[in-house]
Amino acid sequence: MSRLLEPLAVGRVIGEVVDNFTPSVKMNITYNGNKQVCNGHELMPAVIVAKPRVEVGGQDMRDAFTLIMTDPDVPGPSDPYLREHLHWIVTDIPGTTDTSFGKEIASYETPKPVIGIHRYVFILYKQKARQAVKPPATRDQFNTRSFAEENGLGSPVAALYFNAQRETAARRR
Amino acid sequence: MGSHFNFKNFGNEQMEGSGGGRPPGNFPLARQPSVYSLTFDEFQTTMGGVGKDFGSMNMDELLKNIWSAEEFQTMGPASQDVGASGGHLQRQGSLTLPRTLSQKTVDQVWRDISKEFTVGAKDTTGVGITTIPQRQQTLGEMTLEDFLLRAGVVREDAQLAGKPNITGLLGDLSRTANNQAFGFGYQQPERNTGLVSGRVLESSNQMAMESANLPLNVNGVRFTQQQLGATQTQQTQQLPQQQHQPLFPKLPGLPYATPIAIPNSAQLGSPGVRGGIVGLSDPATSASLVQNGALQGAGVGMVNLGAGAVTIAAGSPAVSSDGLAKSNGDTSSVSPVPYVFNSGLRGRKCSALEKVVERRQRRMIKNRESAARSRARKQAYTMELEAEVAKLKEDNQELQKKQAEIMEMQKNQVMEEMNQQRGGKRRCLRRTQTGPW
């Protein structure tokens, strides 16, 4: 499974957003029905406007999972003094299903990267009990670690991230 | 270094003198105050038997008187031969005040200055504003520095490119100068010379910078970089012969003098330069000026500065003042920036330079971080791709294996079926009856 973690570590997701963990649940995220999210791949802003389909693995439908999507590079990756910005939280996702079966305690906010190349991170936690996650007070200055701690989510079980920059940014210099 | 220290304090003192209201600051040695920090009244009394009322004196004469006063002051401490050569220098040309000024009398100039104060109280710089109240005195109370500065003999240009460097360098060099009279003036020359002694190229660059920055009106002579460079190369050889070069004759006592003088003399070689230099350096005073400044004859730039210093730092102060004014918007109330030399100059140059350097460093660090992030991104992408490829390969293999297995199974099944079929047929092909023979 370390093969799954290497891109997360190199991309500094492990380190800046979460601590090292052992992935134990599969997670598949797809935008627009065909654009699958792969670690470190870039997605165009137009693609990520609407919320994606997040398929959660696991064994048991009785397990509840929480998905958090944040942007740790606000307002810009070189000086992220507003880290992080919360984009989406879905809780009580039954195992082996997807987010449409969960409860959105923070609705999906379309990412709008302005400065630099942002990382958008999806972290999946396994809940110990259902309806144990409280909505956060604000989306700004969000901290995934502390939020997980406050809500007793423990260590992540899966993580994915993609890059995005503004539509008109210079690519492939 | 003792001389450094002295000079610095002297510079302080200069600054204070020009500030007008400030009490004399640290004064490690018992030195005579500069002539320029004297007020007109004091100057008159100092000159004693000069007699003539300054009011009706021509600007030319005023300057000459000032210089002679300075020479008188500095003749003692300074070496005599230098003074002599300085005197020789001074007589080489005519004073080149700005034309507009040289014809006026002191009274007229004073009236102009007063008009300036009353009419345009708003200066562009805070320095100007703060200094105006100081100026609104009678002519007698005004210090010579202020007067000359105000009169436009010293022009404060707005060219600051590289000024901080120059001024800072000058400040350092100026320490070596021991002449009180031209503390500020020497600061620049000395700086240049010091630079020259240390690194010819550097000083030449600085001089080039300074010369480029020198306001034209100072002496009408602008030393180009080429001039400087060219002359500098010749400097080393020309030193012995050009002791009497205007502005920077060697001061025997000063360690820097020798190496420095060389560049200066070389630069002075160009006729134009010399003319300008000589013109500016009036007899007695310029000699002494030169002596002190001679410590480091930084070449043309220096010369100009020296000349400027003679003419009350027309050039160099302008340069340094520009540097000072610009580098520190919050300079103290000392109006004649050129006089705020040593400590003021160096402090300002340091902070301005430091800011620039700091900014550059910060930018570099930011760039490095951005590059590191970019590399990490690329690496993460590559790793992900490799992982994907590996996974896909695995899947592919599995699928292919599965497919093969299935094919195998299918084949086997078909074979079996075939076998069965054939067997059935064979059985079917058995004869059931014999024929009737």
Task: Read off the pLDDT of residues B109-165 as tens digits, 9 standing for 90 and up.
Answer: 667 666 665 554 444 444 444 444 444 455 555 666 666 666 665 554 444 444 444
What pLDDT shows up at residue B140?
Answer: 57
| C-beta atoms of B384 and A77 within 8 A | no
| C-beta atoms of B381 and A41 within 8 A | yes
Sign, Cα dihedral of B4, B7, B11, B12? positive
Lowest-confidence segment of A52-61, A65-74, A91-100, B311-320 by average pLDDT: B311-320
Which chain A residue shows the shortest CA-CA distance from B389? A3
Question: Which residue has better confidence, B21 or A21?
Answer: A21
| C-beta atoms of B377 and A7 within 8 A | no
Q: CB–CB of A133/A153 below 8 Å?
A: yes
| C-beta atoms of B387 and A7 within 8 A | yes
- In the predicted model, is pLDDT for residue A17 greater than 60? yes
Question: Which residue has better confidence, B323 or B36?
Answer: B36
CB-based contacts of B77: which residues, under 8 Å, 6+ apart?
B178, B179, B180
Mean predicted confidence (pLDDT) in B381-398: 93
- In the predicted model, is pLDDT for residue A123 greater than 90? yes
What pLDDT shows up at residue B154?
Answer: 54
Question: Which residue has better confidence, B389 or B203?
Answer: B389
CA distance B83 to B86: 5
Q: What band does A131 get if pLDDT is binned at 50, 70 and 90?
A: confident
State the nearest Cα–Cα gap between B391 and chain A, in angstroms.
Answer: 10
What pLDDT shows up at residue B351?
Answer: 84
CA distance B78 to B241: 21
What pLDDT shows up at residue B435?
Answer: 73
Q: What band does A43 get if pLDDT is binned at 50, 70 and 90?
A: very high
Whether residue A39 lies within 8 A of chain B, CB to CB, comes out as: yes
Mean predicted confidence (pLDDT) in B210-220: 43
State the nearest Cα–Cα gap between B387 and chain A, in angstroms.
Answer: 6
- In the predicted model, is pLDDT for residue A45 greater than 50? yes
CA distance B436 to B147: 158
Question: Which residue has better confidence, A169 or B103?
Answer: A169
Q: In what order do the strands lie in the sheet with A103-106?
A: A41-42, A156-164, A118-126, A64-71, A85-94, A103-106
Question: Which residue has better confidence, B173 or B43?
Answer: B43
Which chain B residue shows the shortest CA-CA distance from A78? B370
State the nearest Cα–Cα gap between A49 and chain B, in angstroms.
Answer: 22
Question: Which residue has better confidence, A78 or B314?
Answer: A78
- pLDDT tens digits for range B244-291: 444 444 444 444 444 444 444 444 444 444 444 344 444 444 444 444
Mutate to test the interface with B, among A3, A17, A162 (most CBs of B within 10 A): A3
Q: What band does B395 get if pLDDT is binned at 50, 70 and 90?
A: very high
What pLDDT shows up at residue B300?
Answer: 42
Lowest-confidence segment of A143-157, B30-44, B158-172 by average pLDDT: B158-172
What pLDDT shows up at residue A155?
Answer: 92
What pLDDT shows up at residue B169?
Answer: 43
CA distance B330 to B312: 24
Q: CB–CB of B351/B222 below 8 Å?
A: no
List, as ranges, residues 73-102 from A with C-beta within 8 Å of B. 77-78
List, as ranges, residues 47-76 from A with C-beta within 8 Å of B. none
- In the predicted model, is pLDDT for residue B232 greater than 70? no
When CB atoms are compared, the residue of B369, B370, B384 closest to A41 is B384
Detail the DSSP E strand segments found in B126-218: none
- In the predicted model, is pLDDT for residue B7 greater than 80? no
When CB atoms are compared, the residue of A3, A10, A117 closest to B390 is A3
Neighbours of B119 (CB within 10 A): 8
Interface of B with A (CB under 8 A): 366, 369-370, 373, 376-377, 379-381, 383-384, 387-388, 390
State the nearest Cα–Cα gap between B150 and chain A, in angstroms.
Answer: 49
When CB atoms are compared, the residue of A4, A10, A77 closest to B380 is A10
What pLDDT shows up at residue B68?
Answer: 67
**Residues on chain A touching B375 (C-beta within 8 angstroms):** none
Mean predicted confidence (pLDDT) in B385-389: 92
What is the residue type of A165? Q
Detail the DSSP E strand segments found in A22-155: 27-31, 35-36, 41-42, 53-56, 64-71, 85-94, 103-106, 118-126
Mean predicted confidence (pLDDT) in B23-38: 51
| C-beta atoms of A6 and B383 within 8 A | yes
Q: What band does B55 get if pLDDT is binned at 50, 70 and 90?
A: low
- In the predicted model, is pLDDT for residue B180 greater than 90? no
Which chain B residue shows the shortest CA-CA distance from A40? B381
Which chain B residue shows the shortest CA-CA distance from A1? B387
The most confident of the ranges B4-8, B203-207, B384-388 is: B384-388
| C-beta atoms of A78 and B369 within 8 A | yes
| C-beta atoms of B384 and A163 within 8 A | no
Please name which of A90, A80, A146 lies closest in space to residue A114, comparing C-alpha atoms: A80
Which chain B residue shows the shortest CA-CA distance from A37? B384
Neighbours of B152 (CB within 10 A): 19
Mean predicted confidence (pLDDT) in B173-197: 43
| C-beta atoms of B369 and A117 within 8 A | no
What pLDDT shows up at residue B292?
Answer: 45
What pLDDT shows up at residue B352?
Answer: 87
- A and B: number of Cβ contacts within 8 A: 40
Whether residue A163 lies within 8 A of chain B, CB to CB, comes out as: yes
Between the alpha carbon of residue B40 and those of residues B118, B146, B148, B284, the distances in Å are 21, 10, 11, 20
Arithmetic mean of pLDDT over chain B: 56
What pLDDT shows up at residue A28?
Answer: 92
CB-based contacts of A171: which residues, under 8 Å, 6+ apart?
A42, A165
Q: What band does A65 get if pLDDT is binned at 50, 70 and 90?
A: very high
Please name which of B182, B7, B204 lies closest in space to residue B82, comparing C-alpha atoms: B182
State the nearest Cα–Cα gap between A5 and chain B, in angstroms.
Answer: 9
Whether residue A169 lies within 8 A of chain B, CB to CB, comes out as: no
| C-beta atoms of B383 and A7 within 8 A | yes
Q: CB–CB of B131/B296 below 8 Å?
A: no
| C-beta atoms of B370 and A117 within 8 A | no
**Structure ipTM:** 0.91
Percent with pLDDT over 70 in chain A = 99
Please name which of B324, B333, B332, B322 lies closest in space to residue B352, comparing C-alpha atoms: B324
DSSP category for residue B182: T
Which chain A residue shows the shortest CA-CA distance from B369? A78
Question: Which residue has better confidence, B373 or B203?
Answer: B373
Whether residue A10 lies within 8 A of chain B, CB to CB, comes out as: yes
**Residues on chain A touching B380 (C-beta within 8 angstroms):** 7-8, 10-11, 39-40
| C-beta atoms of A40 and B383 within 8 A | yes
